[in-house]
A = this chain, B = another copy of it.
């Protein structure tokens, strides 16, 4: 049993999670609240609460925060957070350090998840891998020689189609515009609006604007042609993104996480087939493509590991 603890947070567009993690990377307790419009107040409240849970009334030896957005880890600044705009430009590390007077670290959420999988999840047996988070958007993280690369790794915002649709980021033809849950739902809705037949039309009493990616996957498993087509096309584009990462990083594995991993049998299988066609055979043959194993806790565990690593000194004054 460990005597040292750190606080790890995961600040997403929908929820903020704060966990107390011990030095064996076990989550001792966790709290969650909607992000809302004042994420800093929520964050402070959750950290205050969870601090009371440190066993023996000791102090946590550090605070690590994963943030949905582009983070300058060295400077401690959130450069841009499309889903939590009020955090854009905020010196989050400074704000936390000032309030709590402890060693503090911030990272991009997908990077933190990648390091979490490395420390305690599906990445444990791989020295080098690329992690993709497949949800509302698409994020990425890269582990090389057992270390997290502190780079943007914005795989969702790499172009896979020069003249593709406009993305929220300002570019055209981003991977995210083809392969995210948002893209899959949008593709199905748009086809139905144009009159394509589908059992999805009966969902939600005909209000198919409420569809989720899970609904589409279920319909696909039931054989619905539109649902199958939409998922296959999204998967093919994902395969391009995966192939690009294989040809760039020659990883031992590609680890997939996020809600869409549930759609393995059509979406991910289409991605793997496409990636096998587009990446160098010599590299593809060595890559394992596998689902993550930590789920929503990956980011917190990764942040805990990074925080313990950064604050070697902290570890002994808990």
Contacts and interface: CB of A to CB of B under 8 A. Distances in A.
Contact of A280 (B157, B248, B250, B283): B157
A234 to B, nearest CB: 12
Copies in the complex: 2
B144 A250 contact: no
A216 interface: no
Contact of A243 (B159, B164, B248, B282): B159
Interface residues of A, number: 41
Contact of A248 (B152, B163, B282): B152
Interface stretch (A117-125, A166-174, A197-205, A253-261): A166-174
B162 A250 contact: no
A301 interface: no
B80 A170 contact: no
A163 B152 CA distance: 27
A64 to B, nearest CB: 20
10 contacts: A70-B280, A70-B282, A80-B282, A128-B151, A152-B249, A152-B280, A157-B247, A159-B278, A162-B164, A170-B277
